[in-house]
Amino acid sequence: MMEQGKAIAVRRERVDEAAAGQRIDNYLLRICKGVPKSHVYRILRSGEVRVNGGRVAPTYRLAENDEIRIPPIRLAEKTTSGPAPAGEPLPVVFEDEALLVVDKPSGKAVHGGSGVSFGVIEQLRSQRPDARLLELAHRIDRETSGLLVIAKKRSALTALHDMMREGRVEKRYLTLVPGRWANPLQHIKEPLFKYLTAEGERRVRVSGDGKASHSIVRLVRRWSRFSLLEVELKTGRTHQIRVHLAHLGFPLCGDDKYGDFALNKSLEAEGLKRMFLHAARLSFAHPLTGEAITLTADLPAELQSFLVHLDTTEPRKHA
């Protein structure tokens, strides 16, 4: 955080899916904390804020992958919060001069905002003060564990964004759902629409007005009451796995937004105290060298132990 009277450097922000559709004035007010509203509108009207190199009106609605240039801004008030605590080092799955891939624990946000002071990216920057650049290449939900890619070079970040937009990064997740999933392989192609609840919380639903979305579901294991699934994302929409499976009547175990809340409560008593969703595998060509990379992250101990619990308490079913 900057002290009163000090100016931050020029910032360049890439708009992700979560911010797409938001007005530029509201976006700036959210990320420029401590800056007077009047000043935000002043730099917009003067053209100091640029989107994709051009001037925009305060009412401009952001599109995914827009690049925003934010000029140096003097803070009106001295901030009282300190830097993000360094905390314990996150497990590193892969690292070279361009990329860092960590195994994110459940319960940790990938970045600060929406009531969270700091997340993985702020923690990494605190732990690595000499790093010239650390930027999230993509997002995973706070409740989700597993593989998260951080770029250490702008060229790698840009290339990764292009690869993900074009579907050239293979992402596979493991999840547990109630019920007997029947098909060994099933494609889900339901459009997803993002909206805000009356309380201002972000939600997603299947709707013909939504964005095209594609998930590929593979049956891994099955018990009498539950099924373990692997889900491959062909698109990367917000809450895609959670909404696609809930729409088909298979809400994720432990999901506090789209799940079966009565079931979740009973699962807590059996030992599952989080959402069962884990980013288990990533495959892609290195954005700078082209080398084929495949990375995996084992299920966390708390999820593994719940599967052991199922093995010992109910019959295993063969697909």
Active-site positions?
141
- Specify the residue for token string 């009412």: 59
For residues 72 and 8, the answer to whether their CB atoms sit within 8 Å is yes
Closest CA to 166 of 304, 284, 73: 284
Task: Pull the structure tokens for residue 72.
Answer: 């140096």
Dmax over CA atoms of the chain, in Å, equals 68
Q: How far apart are CA 165 and CA 162, in angstroms?
A: 5
CA distance 171 to 167: 10
Instruction: Spell out the residues 6+ positions from residue 123 whose beta carbon is closer than 8 angstroms to its own.
Output: 84, 85, 86, 87, 90
